[in-house]
């Protein structure tokens, strides 16, 4: 597991991250940024723009936080987050008061029930149904996600990190399995326990033939951390398909969420086994869960069974929403002109 984090990065991304690190190490206290310098437009324009920001960071010795603040987001992306109710909103002046909302058609997954827990490889259950594994740092919300995806309370959840201490297998109506793993990067876990879990997770990932995809959960407030990179390097090495999910999106303002999404997407752009689409959700508020449910169903080849008329309903709901959004924006523009 002790794989070098930088090995996972590619060419330009590595340069960008190195430059960000250099700017961080070179002393953030001596800030040379002029207040008048322009924000660099970034969203939707891929690696080139990240380089621009990094160049700016180098020339002005900005910290990561300041670089982050300089990123600009595409209003269309913010509208999309708004539609899916992802990200928090500042109260007061920045709060959007709306009389309409996107009535997202719900995707229902079958209830899950716990059927096996494994602390050693020999306890892994027999390989039968397609499996989706859930990994991530401790306390990122893995067990909560298992519950929220399937509307159950089968998985135990705690606000203290390190609750899940074995690999837990949940079956969804004998159609597929969700596999909840212990978290990594938990500093207070007894070293023995950490030493035990990591090889166990690694064995599961290396050996499990029915494993269709691994969902790597990242806290939207922090993005990709060093131990996430190590884990992703392992997944690349073992040719395991994986996808990144930003969780706890309700705790991040939507502009910052858009920026975080951009940076994470750019970092994994060229990772060999990573699905390029980085998903966002809030297990607490339910935002983004439908998108992930659909992704899981398609991964387990269950789309036809569960998503029969969903696409049609979704198209109608979206058309209605965009129509109302247009009216809302036109009214707001007219009001502004009158003032």
- Provide the binding-site residues for Mg ion, judged by CB under 5 A: 142-143, 164
C-alpha–C-alpha distance, residues 174 and 215, integer Å: 20
Close Cβ partners of 254 (under 8 Å, ≥ 6 residues apart): 78, 81, 82, 86, 87, 88, 89
Residues 46, 47, 48, 52, Cα dihedral to 10°: 110
Among 49, 77, 143, 299, binds ligand GTP (CB under 6 A): 143
Q: What are phi and psi of 3, to 5 degrees?
A: -90, 145
Residue 283 touches which member of Mg ion, ligand GTP, none, C-beta under 5-8 Å by kind: ligand GTP
- Is residue 245 close enough to count as binding ligand GTP by CB under 6 A? no
Q: Determine, following the binding rule CB under 6 A, whether residue 158 of this chain makes contact with ligand GTP.
A: yes
How far apart are CB 15 and ligand GTP at their closest, in Å?
Answer: 32
Closest CB to ligand GTP among 70 and 137? 137
Q: Confirm if 259 and 221 have CB atoms less than 8 A apart.
A: no
- For the segment 174-193, give every residue that binds ligand GTP (CB under 6 A): 182-183
Nearest Cα to 294, choosing from 282, 280, 310? 310
Residue 214 beta carbon to Mg ion: minimum distance, rounded to whole angstroms? 15
* 194 is an interface residue for ligand GTP by CB under 6 A: no
CB of 158 to ligand GTP, least distance (A): 5
User: Residue 238, Cα to own-chain centre: how many angstroms?
Assistant: 21
Choices 157-165, 258-266, 295-303, 322-330 (CB under 6 A): range interacting with ligand GTP: 157-165
Is there binding between residue 142 and ligand GTP (CB under 6 A)? yes
Which of Mg ion, ligand GTP, none is residue 237 near (CB under 5 to 8 Å by kind)? none
Q: Per CB under 6 A, does 23 bind ligand GTP?
A: no
In the complex, least distance from residue 110 CB atom to Mg ion, rounded to whole angstroms: 21
Among 23, 63, 77, 139, interactor with ligand GTP by CB under 6 A: 139
The partner residues of 168 in beta bridges, in order of sequence, read 117, 180
- Helix residue ranges, H only, the chain: 11-25, 46-60, 64-70, 75-83, 142-149, 191-207, 226-237, 254-268, 289-299, 303-306, 310-338
Toward ligand GTP, which CB reaches closer, 54 or 86? 86
* Comparison of 56 and 218: residue with beta carbon closer to ligand GTP: 218
Token duo for residue 211: 């494993």
SS3 content of the chain, % helix, strand, coil (to 5): 45, 15, 40
Task: Name the binder of 17 from Mg ion, ligand GTP, none, CB < 5-8 A by kind.
Answer: none
Displacement of CA 263 from its chain's centroid (Å): 12
Q: Which residues are near ligand GTP by CB under 6 A?
A: 136, 138-144, 157-159, 161-164, 182-183, 247-248, 250-251, 282-284
């Amino acid at each position: 597991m002790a794989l070098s984090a930088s090995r996972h990065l590619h060419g330009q991304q590595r340069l960008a991250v190195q430059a960000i690190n250099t700017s961080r190490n070179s002393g953030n206290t001596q800030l040379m940024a002029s207040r008048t310098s322009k924000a660099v437009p970034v969203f939707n324009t891929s690696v080139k723009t990240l380089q621009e920001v990094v160049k700016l960071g180098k020339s002005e010795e900005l910290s990561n936080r300041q670089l982050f603040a300089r990123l600009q987001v595409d209003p269309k992306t913010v509208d999309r987050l708004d539609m899916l109710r992802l990200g928090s909103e500042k109260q007061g002046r920045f709060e959007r008061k709306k009389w309409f909302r996107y009535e997202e058609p719900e995707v229902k997954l079958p209830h899950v029930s716990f059927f096996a827990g494994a602390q050693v490889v020999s306890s892994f259950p027999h390989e039968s149904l397609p499996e989706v594994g859930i990994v991530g740092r401790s306390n990122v919300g893995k067990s909560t996600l298992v519950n929220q995806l399937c509307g159950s309370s089968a998985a135990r959840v705690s606000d203290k990190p390190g609750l899940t201490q074995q690999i837990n297998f949940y079956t969804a109506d004998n159609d597929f399995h969700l596999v909840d793993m212990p978290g990594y990067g938990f500093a207070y876990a007894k070293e023995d326990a950490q030493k035990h879990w990591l090889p166990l997770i690694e064995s599961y990932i290396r050996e499990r033939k029915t494993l269709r995809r691994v969902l790597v959960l990242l806290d939207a407030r922090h993005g990709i951390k060093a131990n996430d990179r190590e884990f992703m390097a392992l997944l690349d090495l073992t040719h395991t398909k994986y996808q990144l999910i930003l969780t706890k999106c309700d705790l991040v303002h939507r502009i910052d969420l858009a920026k975080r999404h951009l940076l994470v997407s750019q970092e994994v752009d060229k990772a060999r086994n990573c699905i390029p689409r980085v998903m966002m959700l809030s297990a607490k508020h339910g935002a983004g869960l439908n998108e992930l449910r659909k992704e899981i169903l398609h991964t387990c080849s269950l789309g036809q069974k569960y998503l029969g008329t969903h696409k049609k309903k979704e198209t109608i709901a979206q058309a209605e929403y965009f129509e109302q959004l247009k009216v809302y924006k036109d009214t707001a523009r007219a009001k502004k002109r009158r003032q």
